[in-house]
Amino acid sequence: MARVPILLVLLAQLFLGRARVRSSSPLPLVLNTWPFKNATEAAWRTLVSGGSPLDAVERGCAQCERQQCDGTVGFGGSPDELGETTLDAMLMDGTTMNVGAVGDLRRIKNAIGVARKVLEHTTHTLLAGESATMFAESMGFINEDLSTDTSQALHLNWLTQNCQPNYWRNVIPDPSKYCGPYKPPSILKQDGSTYKETGNKYGHDTIGMVVVHKMGHTAAGTSTNGIKFKIHGRIGDSPIPGAGAYADDTAGAAVATGDGDVLMRFLPSYQAVEYMRGGEDPAIACKKVISRIQKHFPSFFGAVICANVTGSYGAACNKLPTFTQFSFMVYNSLKNQPTEEKVDCI
């Protein structure tokens, strides 16, 4: 059967759907990665009180930042190899296509709030590192230590375990056995490998959120403190438009979570939205994105959630021995509370 372009679906709803009762519409919609219920509720409250999709995404992600969702969002989690917690975040407005993002943000707790200021008060898309911190301070954010007793203990334990896992390769000393500092050998030993799993536990990760307004306007965003023990200065997929998140009112929105170093190479959120633009159901769009990445990295850790502008949604994930299902949150006008849903990985 030929795919139906998303704009035709919208027109059909406008002209044929007026007789339906209001409660039958699945819009507005809040969708986010992982069972971060409080973030879902915060976004929903913002929407129903008259806030914009962008407001809802910001407040939902900010809720996770304050609560340090699973230790992978906000301050006090995922120390890098120097023991510092740094943050990545992004907001995208699907109506204007404006984006604000920060990467490797240091000593500022409200990363998603700084991303909003980048969007609203600059013509740039992404600010990073110490310069992003300086910008945040100029916008009124407080410079404060993001480390906690928990993050410091994590880092100390990592050092006592010979800095395992880490994200170095083709260096000396052998990064699989020793801590750094590392340097490239005079003649690199090429073993043909392009990717190595560095951990055996997969858990919660970035909060990624999609919001679709009752009028079909979209927004998407992310916030994370990245992977534990990353190389100092590393930025993942979360603040990269089209990788961590993407929104476009003419099609829909999507967000990704998982191994950002792999995910960003495939722009999964952008690709999912483009599949939906071509008429694919959101669940199929998400699956097709995962399948594309599997061809190159069959053991990657990742998941994608997608929603089109009519309120249909879906999710998909890459199946691993310790990651066979992916949980995400849904709240729409057909539900009276945020609901955790699960999808089997492929």
The more confidently predicted of residues 202 and 225 is 225
The whole-number average pLDDT for the span 6-14 is 50
Least confident of 18-22, 61-65, 277-281, 283-287: 18-22
pLDDT bin (cut points 50, 70, 90) of residue 126 is very high
pLDDT over 90, % of the chain: 85
Q: Which of 33, 95, 133, 206 is catalytic?
A: 206
pLDDT confidence of residue 25: 79
The whole-number average pLDDT for the span 272-296 is 98
335, pLDDT greater than 90: yes
199, pLDDT greater than 70: no
pLDDT confidence of residue 5: 58
HEC per residue, the chain: CCCCCHHHHHHHHHHHCCCCCHHHCCCCEEEEECCCHHHHHHHHHHHHCCCCHHHHHHHHHHHHHHHCHHHCCCCCCCCCCCCCCEEEEEEEECCCCCEEEEEEEECCCCHHHHHHHHHHHCCCCEEEHHHHHHHHHHCCCCCCCCCCHHHHHHHHHHHHCCCCCCCCCCCECCCCCCCCCCECCCCCCCCCCCCCCCCCCCCCCCEEEEEECCCCCEEEEEEECCCCCCCCCCCCCCCCECCCEEEECCCEEEEEEECHHHHCCCCHHHHHHHHHHCCCCHHHHHHHHHHHHHCCCCCCCEEEEEEECCCCEEEEECCECCECEEEEEEEECCCCCCEEEEEECC
Catalytic status, residue 95? no
203, pLDDT greater than 50: no
What are the pLDDT digits (tens) for 68-119?
998 899 899 899 999 999 999 999 999 999 999 999 999 999 999 999 999 9
Q: What is the pTM of this model?
A: 0.89
Least confident of 53-62, 183-192, 321-330: 183-192
